[in-house]
Structure 1
Amino acid sequence: MVHFDCHAHVYEKITAIPGARYVPKSPAPLKVWKNNLSEHELSGGVIVQVSFLGTDNSELCSALSKLDKTRFAGVGVVDLDVDDAELDRLVAAGIKGIRWNLVRGKAVPDATVPAVQSFFQKLRQRGLHLEVHLEGSRLAPHLASLTDQGINLVIDHYGLPSDPSPEADPFIKAVKALPARNNLYIKFSAHYRTGFSVAPHASALLGILDDNRVVWGSDWPHTQHEETTCYAETRDAAFLASALSDITAAKALYGIAPV
């Protein structure tokens, strides 16, 4: 049974950074998301920093200040050279991970360079995980190095598969090839961001990992897809999630537990 929505975006106002790739027309209020959780009998969830706000996590932190931190957490976005004081402020606000949003050609940081190693060290010191949003075909060559940094690694949106066949999909092949998978987690979220059914990929991932490494997320308010899906549809399309128990993964990643 799924107890949490581990991937949603909440913002009461829209103040986009320059060059934002997409700016929604309407806010995504905390009250509406909480109503969605209640209607679908979910105990809590995780608010992820939305891309058009960049590294300004103030909306995220404001939402977290109104929530029970035993059932809710956040994932923020920061620069690689973020200072200790800022990270500590985010941790105090309820941030449990940092997201790299690298889709559409953004460069993947080189895990071997000193600046990135310093960033990883800051995450290790605070028990923060790294969440990666990146097309699976581009992620695959980096997966082994990212899972070798002594931190939990969370992959968004089924790994954004690129091949309709799980057996041929570069991301799933890379997961299979990992020498160890004890710190790898997958979000079953945003199936509509892939142009084919990801149900076979969900099944394949559960065959490689176990459900203690999987969480579900609605991806509400479904930015760029607001007109084609809704919360109920994403909940119904949570492939195989009805058979999952997310309690262990949610506790390990976010420190939250159901009521």
Structure 2
Amino acid sequence: MSNVIHRVVPAGSIDTHVHVFDPNRFAYASGRDYTPASADLQDLQAFAGTLGLERFVFVQPSVYGTDNSALLAALEVTGPERSRGVAVIGPETTDQDIASLHAAGVRGLRLNASSNPDGGAADVREALQTLMARAEPLGLAVELFCSSTSLAAVEDIIASSPVPIILDHFGGATVADDGTVVGLDQVIRFLALPHVWVKLSAAYRIAKAGAAAPQIPSIVRALVEARADRLVWASDWPHTGGGAARKRRGPAAVEPFREIDDAAEVSTFLTWIGPGETARQILVDNPARLFRFPSS
């Protein structure tokens, strides 16, 4: 993955949330909620060239369940200088399996509770406690993709976590239909904890108006003001769909990716967070520290 053709982001930037979908080599799980199109490493290289990206964190998508084969293949090809991974495990995953994931470059374990927007407190609490216990021996982070309601239900567990906690997609903060910002105070409260990190990823997901929603710049700036040293940036490439269209389509039909102008999105994001040192902190230094990349 070379031939970088543009430099939109600072040199050494790390995209902390990309997915690889390669159904021709790695079959999707039978019980998946949707069927994405293919987006393999060659496609990732083309995307990376639009921004000048050279380092990535591969995150296990739900369509592969607990089979991390595609993620491990991506880590092997890109190598330890350029990539890390966040895997998904299940009860069948042994301690030796986790050690093997760690040796391959995995630095986090993911809990995706986004499909349970009303909370499901008991299930989320049990799953989170189990995942923390399994992550602790190797110091792996636990990454949460949850609604603000679900996060509120496990706030005490997050506060006492023995491992780093990473909150996906703005930590569950959203813009309601009436324009009210929901969950931002909670995210800032989480950031006051010494072990919690937030991914500033996929601003287009947190409001019906997409990244153009007028509330989003103020959300970003509030988080930067709160803890710029605990924020990381992510594209969420290749931009899976979701929402009502996914429900209408059904899990078997191929779901198109969102059409996102990545260079424009990132350029706008950089204007929100401010120039120079803050951009380097969020896109380079913070993720390198969190995911334990070698010094650049």
- What does residue 256 of structure 1 align with? 293
**Structure 1 residue 192, shift from structure 2 partner:** 1.4
Give the AA of the match of 2:293.
Answer: I
Pairwise CA RMSD of aligned residues? 2.7
**Structure 1 residue 131, shift from structure 2 partner:** 0.7
Provide TM-score, normalisation by structure 2: 0.76
- What does residue 33 of structure 1 align with? 44
Give the AA of the match of 1:209.
Answer: R
Give the AA of the match of 2:257.
Answer: E
The 3 A distance-change label for structure 1 pair 144 and 28 is: same
The 3 A distance-change label for structure 1 pair 255 and 140 is: same
Q: How does 1:1-259 map to 2 (within 5 A)?
A: 2=10, 3-13=13-23, 15-24=27-36, 26-79=37-90, 82-105=93-116, 107=120, 109=123, 111=125, 117-163=129-175, 169-178=181-190, 180-194=192-206, 195-196=208-209, 197=213, 198-210=216-228, 212-224=229-241, 226-238=257-269, 240-241=272-273, 243=275, 244=279, 245-246=281-282, 247-257=284-294, 259=296
Provide TM-score, normalisation by structure 1: 0.85
Cα displacement string for residues 141-197 of structure 1 (whole angstroms, at most 9, x for unaligned residues): 3234213211111111112323459xx745322234459421111111111112243
Distance of 2:204 and 2:230 partners within structure 1: 22
Identify the range of structure 1 (86-95 vs 132-141) with the bigger mean alpha-carbon deviation.
Answer: 132-141
8 Å CA contact 1:102, 1:134 repeated in 2: yes
Give the AA of the match of 2:99.
Answer: D
Distance of 1:10 and 1:51 partners within structure 2: 11
Structure 1 or 2, whichever has the larger Rg, is: 2
The 3 A distance-change label for structure 1 pair 34 and 241 is: farther
Distance of 1:233 and 1:257 partners within structure 2: 29
Distance of 1:63 and 1:120 partners within structure 2: 25
Give the AA of the match of 1:120.
Answer: M
Give the AA of the match of 1:42.
Answer: L
Aligned residues: 254
8 Å CA contact 2:68, 2:87 repeated in 1: yes
**Structure 1 residue 236, shift from structure 2 partner:** 3.2
Match of 1:209, SS state, is: helix
Give the AA of the match of 2:240.
Answer: T
**Structure 1 residue 68, shift from structure 2 partner:** 2.5
8 Å CA contact 2:54, 2:82 repeated in 1: yes
- What does residue 248 of structure 2 align with? none
Distance of 2:295 and 2:262 partners within structure 1: 20
Distance of 1:144 and 1:205 partners within structure 2: 21
Where is the helix percentage greater, Structure 1 or Structure 2? Answer: 2
8 Å CA contact 1:130, 1:153 repeated in 2: yes
Match of 2:240, SS state, is: coil
**Structure 1 residue 206, shift from structure 2 partner:** 1.3
8 Å CA contact 1:11, 1:60 repeated in 2: no
**Structure 1 residue 99, shift from structure 2 partner:** 0.9
Identify the range of structure 1 (232-241 vs 220-229) with the bigger mean alpha-carbon deviation.
Answer: 232-241
Match of 1:255, SS state, is: coil
**Structure 1 residue 117, shift from structure 2 partner:** 4.0
Give the AA of the match of 2:238.
Answer: P
Match of 1:216, SS state, is: strand
Cα displacement string for residues 89-110 of structure 1 (whole angstroms, at most 9, x for unaligned residues): 1111111101111112174545
Match of 1:56, SS state, is: coil
